[in-house]
Amino acid sequence: MNHHFKGLDDMPLDVSRLMAFRIPDGRQEIDARKVAFYALSVGMGQDPLDARQLPYVNLAAKQKIMPSMALVLAHPGFWLADPATGVDPASVLHAEQRFDLLAPIPGEGIVTSRSRITGLIDKGPGRGAFMITETMLFDGMERPFARLERSTFLRGAGGFGGDNPAQDRIAMPDRAPDHVAELATRPEQALFYSLNGDTNQIHLDPAAAVRAALERPILHGLCTAGLVCHALLRTLADYDETRLTGFSLRFSDIVYPGETISVEIWDCGAFQARVAERGVTVINAGRCVIDHKA
């Protein structure tokens, strides 16, 4: 993946300090409006004449919930910004994401989350580190309905003496994609999306973006993931949310709000995404789980 945090001071990760930090539990009350807002924040409803999209955003319809909403429910917030973690928040970049639905997402009531660090990968001095976290989501009866796994790149944090295991490399099909779905993002999309709970300032504040050696605020990785979920729902599931039960992907470059995301999809469930204007791959190694109903 490409790392865009240049000019930041390198400092090995303080493992004991990070592991001693207790990630806050998340708690959120959800309702039909919040479900619809999430869908709008990742581009659902941009074609208001497409009747298949309207159940995700029209409160008068029998509501559908985008599977990728699991990625933002009961969000613990940008906890790595807490000085107690010992992590420079400007060094943080979302690297990989996976989610698996264990049961349908509840459309109302209380949702809670519990997160833990499950792994630290040392890429060596000056080469950064990866932190793996797992989040479990529970409904109001404490029944788990989703498992999330996130890999976060910590620029300049390598050299703490940790393991550097070989990482799996997922190859994309060696042929042209079966489908290409283009989705436009809006200039204010990151501002909307932040209201789902991710307030990392590199997505919102131009000055914070510049301090992180970025040209301007960038789109949240999970917003890009939500847009990709929309493309997969449209292309492989005809907007039937019950058929997509999970996916995994790697973030390989940044997206600026206002750019067009071109999602290349294979019928086997593989996918990747490019920014049409700059011709760069922003998501690769994508795999989704689709129920191919008769």
Residues annotated catalytic, as ranges: 198, 203
Nearest to 140 by CA among 117, 159, 113, 171: 113
Residues ≥6 apart with Cβ < 8 Å to 34:
none
Q: Return d(Cα 278, Cα 280) in angstroms, integer.
A: 6
Residue found by looking up tokens 């949310």 in the block:
241
Cα separation, 56 vs 71, in Å, equals 16
| CB-CB contact of 242 with 64 (8 Å) | no
Q: What CA–CA distance (Å, rounded) separates 268 from 178? A: 9
128 neighbors 158 (Cβ within 8 angstroms): yes
Q: How many CA atoms lie within 13 A of 252 on its CB side?
A: 14
How many angstroms separate the CA atoms of 46 and 186, rounded? Answer: 10
